[in-house]
Structure 1
Amino acid sequence: MNDEAPFRFNFDVGAEASKESEDCSRSPKRPREGEELVPAEVVEVEGSGWSGDGDNDEGYGIQEVGNSIRLWKVVKLLEQSTLVQGLDESTDLVPGRYEGGFKVWECSVDLCQYLMQLYNLGESDGKDGNGSKHGDLQGKSVLELGCGQGLPGILCLAHGASSVVFQDFNKEVLRSVTYPCVEKNARHHGKQTNGAATYISGDWSGCRDLLGKQCYDLVLAAETIYEPKSIPSLLDLLSSCVKPKTGVVLVAAKVYYFGVGGGVAPFEQAVKEQGLFDLDHVFRVDDGASNMREILMLKTKPRRDPGAPDL
C-alpha cells in the first residue's frame, strides 16, 4: 500500500463554471405548484460520529462489487437515528421525511459494476486498467445524487476523481452513513480525503440553486426515479449541472417501481419531452431472481444556433 495520497478539492460554488466556455444551465427553472421544498445546504460532517480510526470495523461490512473490488459499507448504525424511530421496519421511505438513504440498494451496486466496465477499473487498491473510449476517472469532478451510503461516488474517489459531491435528501444520512463510509474506504486504501468530498442535503430544486453554475464531468444517480412527480426536478437539476459536450449522466433504476409508479419508462418519456439529452440503455439486469434493472446514459444534445435553418 502506498503512503497516504491526498485527494484535492475546494468546494466553491460556481468556481468550475468560470473555466467552462458554456453555461451549464440549459433549461428554465420551473416552480411546481404545491411543491414543499427542503432547503439545500452544505452539511458539516465533523463531529458526526466518525472516530477517525480506519482499523475499527464495528458497524461496517463488505460490499462485493464485481469480482475484484470490495467496498466498506455501514451495516449497523452505532447510534439510533431519529429518522427511523417509530417507522415500520418494512418501510423503506416516507415521502418528505426519509428517502431510504441508510440502505444499500441494488441499483447502487449495479452502478458500481457499470463504472468498473466503463472506465476499466482494476483492483481495489485503486489501480486502473488501460483506459477506455471514455478515458479514465483521473481528475474528474463527480456529483452523486440521492447518494445514501455513496458507494458509486466512493468508487470514483478511489480511482482518481479529483472531487465528489455527495447529495442526499436527509442531512442525517450524510452524517451517519455517507461520511463514515467515505472516510472508512479512504483510510482502508491509505488515503486522505482532504476536502475532496463535499456533502449537501435537501431537495433537488434547492440543490440547483446551491450549486449555481457548477458543472460536473460525471453525474451519478441510483434509485432516484421511483416517483414520477420527482422526475421533473431531477431533470431540471441534471440540465444545469452536467458539463456541456463532454459530461455524462448515469441513472440506475428498476424498470418499474411497484406501488409508486416510477421507473425507466416514465423517466425516458420525460427526457424525450424535455429534449435536452440523448439517452442510451447501457446496462440491464434480468436474471429472473430479482427486479429487472437498467442503467441509462444521458449526454447533452448539441446546442442548436437559433438562427440556423432546419435540416
Structure 2
Amino acid sequence: MESVQTKTWDFTDGRDDSILVVTVQELLDADSDYGLYTWPCATVLSQYLIHKKMWLKGKAVIELGSGTGLAGLVALRCGAASVLLTDHAEKRKVLQNCQSTVESQGYSDMQVCGLTWGHFSPQLLNLRCKVDLIIAADCFYSSKDFEPVLVTVAYLLETNMAAEFWCTYQVRSADRSFDFFFEKWQLKCTYVPLSEFTEDITAACRNGTTNPTEIQLMIITLCKAQD
C-alpha cells in the first residue's frame, strides 16, 4: 500500500542567516522507485544552489533525474527564471509525483518532462533551447548510467556553450572512474570541496547513514568552452 509523505527541508545560508523552507512529496511503499525518496546528494546539491543564489537569478535550469524535485525547487526559489524537472520517461510514478508537487505549490515557472538519459528522443531534441544550467543529484548511482548521462549532458552543452552541469555524486566504489567518458565526450570536470559552501556537511546530508566525505560535487563543462 502506497503512503504519501510530505517532507520539509530547512536550508540555511550562513552568510546572511536566511532560511529557505522547501517541501516535497515522497511516495513510500514496498515497490517504490528510488526516485520517490530524497537522497543525501539532493540536499547537498540544494545547499550549493543556495550558496550560488545570486548567480542563479534569471537563469534557465534543467534538472536530470529529478526524483522528488528537491534541487529543482530550490533553484526556482533561489531566483531561477524557469526550471524543467525531468526523469526517466518510463518512470510514471516519479513524474506524476513531481507534477503533483509542482501543482500543489502553484509554481507556474516549473514544468515536468520525461527524459531518458542517452536516448535522442523528441523530448531531448525539443530541449535544444537556451539552457544556463543543468543539475543532477546522484544520477551516477549505477556505473551503467555514466555514459548515458554524460551523452545527454554533452548534447545540451553543445548548443549552450556557456552552460554548466552541476551534479553531486556519492562515491560507492573507488574502482569507478569518469575520466574515460570525460575525454570521450570532450568534457572538463572541476571538483568543488563541500567545505566551500557549508560549514556543517553532516547537516547538509540530512542522513546519518551516509558519510558526508563520500559525496562529491562536480562542475562539468565542454572542454572547448574553456579554450
TM-score band w.r.t. shorter chain: 0.7 to 0.9
Unpaired stretches in structure 2, ≥5 consecutive residues: 14-18, 196-200, 203-207
Q: Judging by fraction of residues, say which structure has more strand.
A: 2
Structure with higher Rg: it is: 1
Which of 51, 67, 81 pairs up with 1:117?
51
1:165 aligned residue: 84
Pairwise CA distance, 1:159 = 2.4
TM-score, normalisation: structure 2: 0.76
Query: Matches of residues 8-19 of structure 1 in structure 2 within 5 Å?
Result: none
Partner of 1:40: none
In the TM superposition, residue 303 of structure 1 has moved relative to its aligned partner by: 6.0
For residues 197 and 222 of structure 1, the distance between their equivalents in structure 2, rounded to whole angstroms, comes to 18
Structure 1 residues 267 and 154: CA distance shift in structure 2, 3 A: same
- Give the alignment of 1:111-190 within 5 angstroms: 111-119=45-53, 131=54, 136-169=55-88, 170-175=91-96, 177-184=97-104, 187=105
**1:239 match: secondary structure:** helix
2:107 corresponds to 1:193: yes
Is 1:294 aligned with 2:216?
A: yes
- Alpha-carbon contact 2:27-2:36 (below 8 Å) kept: no
The 2-side partners of 1:148 and 1:290 are apart by 18
Match of 1:240 in 2: 155
1:275 CA displacement: 4.7
- The one-letter amino acid of 2:140's match is I
Would you say the 8 A contact 1:171–1:202 is kept in 2?
Answer: no
* Structure 1 unaligned regions, length at least 5: 1-57, 78-83, 93-97, 120-130, 306-311
Contact 1:157 1:163 (C-alpha < 8 Å) held by counterparts: yes
2:25: which partner in 1? 74
- Mapped partners of 1:59, 1:249: distance in 2: 30
Distance 1:108 1:143 in 2: 14
* Number of residue-to-residue matches in the alignment: 202
AA partner of residue 44 (structure 2): D
Match of 1:105 in 2: 39
2:161 is equivalent to residue 251 of structure 1: no
Deviations 1:81-105 (A, max 9, x none): xxx56x4xxxx7xxxxx4x110000
Does the 8 A contact of 1:149 with 1:178 survive in 2? Answer: yes
Contact kept in structure 1, 2:192 and 2:216, CA below 8 Å:
yes
Which amino acid is the alignment partner of residue 161 of structure 2?
K
Which is richer in helix? 2
How far has the Cα of 1:162 moved from its partner? 2.0
Give the Cα separation in 1 of the matches to 2:27 and 2:152.
32
Report how far residue 66 of structure 1 moved: 3.4
How large is the Cα RMSD of the aligned pairs?
Answer: 2.9
